[in-house]
Chains A and B, each alone.
Chain A
């Protein structure tokens, strides 16, 4: 299958051709399909580099990237124009000039605000109500040095050491993942990802319930806990790796990000946490934007192979996975199924009848086509966490004209959720709500800016750097400067 890798497509017709050919390539019959469709799910958390280079194949591959990726604009636009505007062919080239300047609109930004806010809300509520998720106590293998040092200098040095060890794990895992992907060991990657989800959903959920019941001082019997954990876990495995209703899958991804963020928050020592946040944003930036970055290589490989699915990055012993919906490019004659995006499980080989098409259109109109790409990390094993980037994915379009079926899915990698929530958790640790709210606003504004950049630049972008920078700056300034001023004002009820 020859794929034309060309970012600058001049003719829309060519683009449509590309889409069609991509489509054929990615349709696998029968039993094989679940594998491929599942693979993206276990996507790697990618470093930004991967996301960046998504070009024409991005649409296909995009789903698997956890970074912010812009699906090839022309790709989308062509399809978009093709299906939306019934214009004669000769008018199309004229329209290219006035083509969509913004890939995403305000609604996509808000669609990302809501899950990010929910994740942060879960984390903060858990931290405020239970005491077992506070830092201190046990240390874990990724940050072996403690921070109980006598002098500040020593503390900084040991924190730096911790950070570099942690980043070492992260980088190792990325490299291993890239190698696995390059050598097409999909089964290994897939298996690993399933294993990670398994551990996350069952083990961490169990410990979460235990700590909740312990802190609320209500004993729960083993049978109830096992029953609940088993049910939630099994449904989660289904929803994430196979088909399931979209809101439930989103809820699971949000919840898992929150769980992981809580675990991270518990085990990361104080200064190490801040340093890790800073260093991982820089790593994110490097990995996605530098030409030699691992993620970029990964993306290019995926691009060359014309594969939609992007395998998940694997840490040396931890499983990091990204669940994405693989969206085969829309095919005009058939409705391309979308595992995770649609509310109904769709079979790719189904021929649509009128009613089904209407149904699908209705679903599309009603649902947020948002694809969350979770990245989960099981800390027990070596952790390599790549910040998730989000990928913009073309939503599938039914054959019939949908007036408002213009939504492209926006994806955000779960790693981004996790790091945002970690930042906010650390911000709320002081008990000062001003700090928490200031960090929350700055994180959301960073996300908004990143999306704006993505909409304009249309290349994969790291979602972490801008938000984390804003968050860190505002955190430290609020704690040391705004806080006292605000306290003085509050004391006297002076309203500025």
Chain B
């Protein structure tokens, strides 16, 4: 039961992201590097958040204090990563394109935004689930003190949600900043707000018998909204889609 559950939860959480990796990122070394670097930036943001949590000793059990700051730090680091990418793009543009293409360093903005969001999401989801997965393989009884028995499966689905959400947030963030104008505020603002909403909703999971349905439904609703927003931002609208279908 344990290995089965572990395998099942791993595949739930990592199935879609793994396919995304294999089909869109694995064969493009530049995107692999971007994903790795953005994962590193996420780690740095987590380091800052942990410092804050660690420093404020009396509030250590009150996660409601640390979580909003964690979200803010993550978004700040996402913005910092965007600046880094901008600088790199500027520097790369001065080099011959031929050389860059040969070396596989093709700067496709959408791909970079996607890879960066993916990197953020992957490491965020990994930190959320990997210890749970490793504990899952050992012996134990779930919910022995009246806790919810859906702990593992809810975790897996929430992790999947987080990974995908981060991917879309990355695309929205970078694309909006690139577009300029009013989008420079709407895009990142939406990202920050929905991220804060999602994380604070998951705080509800801390009660003794949590209703995972709340966070799951809210999370996936936000995901749907983000998908639609991304699609609209990228220029598709109903006419386009209708034309493509017909």
Please give the residue numbers on chain A whose beta carbons come within 8 Å of chain B beta carbons, in ascending order: 98, 100-102, 104-111, 113, 404, 406, 431-434, 437-438, 441-442, 444-445, 448, 474, 477, 481-482, 484-490, 492-496
Contact = CB atoms under 8 A, between A and B. Distances in A.
A107 B132 CA distance: 34
B43 A442 contact: yes
B71 to A, nearest CB: 6
B166 to A, nearest CB: 10
Contacts of A106: 29-30, 32-33, 103-105
B162 A445 contact: no
Interface stretch (B4-12, B120-128, B185-193, B227-235): B120-128
Interface in B102-143: 102-105, 123-124, 126-128, 130-134
A441 B51 contact: no
A441 B33 CA distance: 11
B236 interface: no
Given A489-B63, A493-B158, A494-B63, A437 B202 contact: no
Given A109-B33, A448-B37, A494-B67, A104 B50 contact: no
6 contacts: A433-B131, A477-B47, A481-B50, A493-B210, A495-B202, A496-B46
B74 interface: yes
B152 to A, nearest CB: 10
A406 B128 contact: no
Nearest to A109: B33
B54 A481 contact: yes
Nearest to B132: A490
Contact of B100 (A105, A432, A437, A482): A105
Contact of A496 (B37, B67, B95, B96): B67
B75 to A, nearest CB: 11
A289 B134 CA distance: 43
B194 interface: no
Contacts of A104: 103
Nearest to B68: A496
Contacts of A493: 151, 154-155, 158, 202, 205-206, 210, 212, 215
Contact of B128 (A107, A442, A474, A490): A490
* Consensus secondary structure, chain A interface: helix
Interface of B: 29-30, 32-33, 36-37, 39-40, 43, 46-47, 49-51, 53-54, 60-61, 63, 66-67, 70-71, 74, 95-96, 99-100, 102-105, 123-124, 126-128, 130-134, 151, 154-155, 158-159, 162, 198-199, 202-203, 205-206, 210, 212, 215
A474 B43 contact: yes
A102 B91 CA distance: 11
Contacts of B162: 495
Given A442-B43, A490-B128, 11 more contacts: A106-B30, A404-B102, A437-B130, A442-B40, A474-B43, A481-B54, A487-B131, A494-B199, A495-B124, A495-B162, A495-B198
Contacts of B30: 105-106
The 7 closest A-B CB pairs, nearest first, are: A105-B103, A492-B206, A106-B29, A110-B29, A496-B70, A106-B30, A485-B50
B118 to A, nearest CB: 14
Contact of B102 (A109, A406, A433, A442): A406
Contacts of B151: 493
A46 B29 CA distance: 28
